[in-house]
Amino acid sequence: MKVLVMPAWMKPYMAKLRRDYPQHRFVEVGSAEVAKEAVDAEVVFGYLSSGQFKTARSLKWIQTAGAGVEGLLGRVPEIAESGVIVTNARGAGAPIIGEHAVAMMLALARQFLRFEQDRRDRRWDQDGALEVVEYLGGKTAGIIGFGKSGRETGWRCKALGMSVIALDRHPVDGDPVVDQVWTDDRLADLLGESDYVVVTVPLTPESRNLIGANELAMMKRTARLIVTSRGGIVDQVALGTALRDGTIAGAALDTVAEEPMPADDPLWEAPNLIITPHIAGNAEPELLDRRTFAIFEENLRRYVKGLPLMNVVNKRLGY
Active site (annotated) includes residue 152: no
| Together in a domain, 197 and 237 | yes
Query: Of how many residues is the chain composed?
Result: 319
In whole angstroms, how large is the CA radius of gyration of the chain? 22
Output the pLDDT for position 134: 98
Output the pLDDT for position 261: 97
| Together in a domain, 53 and 186 | no
> Could you list the residue range(s) of the whole structural domain that residue 146 is in?
94-275
In a domain, 316, yes or no: no
pLDDT above 90 for 32 = no
Q: Is 122 left (phi over 0), alpha (psi -120 to 50) or beta?
A: left
Average pLDDT value for residue range 192-200: 98
Instruction: Indicate which residue of 278, 290, 298, 302 is catalytic.
Output: 278
pLDDT above 90 for 226 = yes
Whether 173 and 181 have beta carbons less than 8 Å apart is answered as yes
- Of all residues in the chain, what percent carry a pLDDT higher than 90? 95
pLDDT above 90 for 220 = yes
Output the pLDDT for position 172: 86
| Together in a domain, 192 and 104 | yes
In a domain, 315, yes or no: no
Query: Measuring CA to CA, how many Å separate 193 from each of 103, 144, 150, 202, 245?
Result: 21, 13, 17, 23, 20
Output the pTM of the full model: 0.93
Active site (annotated) includes residue 81: no
Average pLDDT value for residue range 221-235: 97
| Together in a domain, 60 and 99 | no
| Together in a domain, 115 and 84 | no
Instruction: Indicate which residue of 33, 206, 259, 286 is catalytic.
Output: 259
Output the pLDDT for position 191: 98
In a domain, 244, yes or no: yes
Output the pLDDT for position 174: 83
| Together in a domain, 116 and 254 | yes
21 Cβ contact partners less than 8 Å away, ≥ 6 residues apart: 300, 304
Distance CA 187, CA 123 (A): 41
In a domain, 99, yes or no: yes
| Together in a domain, 149 and 187 | yes
Q: Which amino acid is at 260?
A: P
Active site (annotated) includes residue 151: no
| Together in a domain, 195 and 213 | yes
Whether 68 and 203 have beta carbons less than 8 Å apart is answered as yes
CATH number at residue 206: 3.40.50.720
| Together in a domain, 200 and 218 | yes
Distance CA 47, CA 98 (A): 26
Secondary-structure percent of the chain, ordered helix, strand, coil, rounded to 5: 40, 15, 45
Output the pLDDT for position 257: 96
Mode of pairing for the β-strands spanning 196-199 and 140-144:
parallel
In a domain, 148, yes or no: yes
| Together in a domain, 253 and 207 | yes
In a domain, 130, yes or no: yes
| Together in a domain, 109 and 183 | yes
Torsion, CA 291, CA 292, CA 294, CA 300, rounded to 10: 170
- Burial class for 173, CB neighbours closer than 10 Å (0-12, 13-18, 19+): exposed
Paired residues of 176 in beta bridges:
none
Average pLDDT value for residue range 281-298: 96
Find the DSSP H helices in 110-231: 112-121, 126-130, 148-159, 187-193, 213-218
Neighbours of 269 (CB within 10 A): 10
Average pLDDT value for residue range 1-28: 97
Chain-centre distance of CA 124, in angstroms?
Answer: 37
In a domain, 312, yes or no: no
pLDDT above 90 for 175 = no
In a domain, 311, yes or no: no
- Of all residues in the chain, what percent carry a pLDDT higher than 70? 100
Average pLDDT value for residue range 218-236: 97
Output the pLDDT for position 254: 98
| Together in a domain, 243 and 289 | no
Mean pLDDT of the chain: 96
The structural domain count of the chain equals 2
pLDDT in tens, 119-173: 999 999 999 999 999 999 999 999 999 999 999 999 999 999 999 999 999 888 8
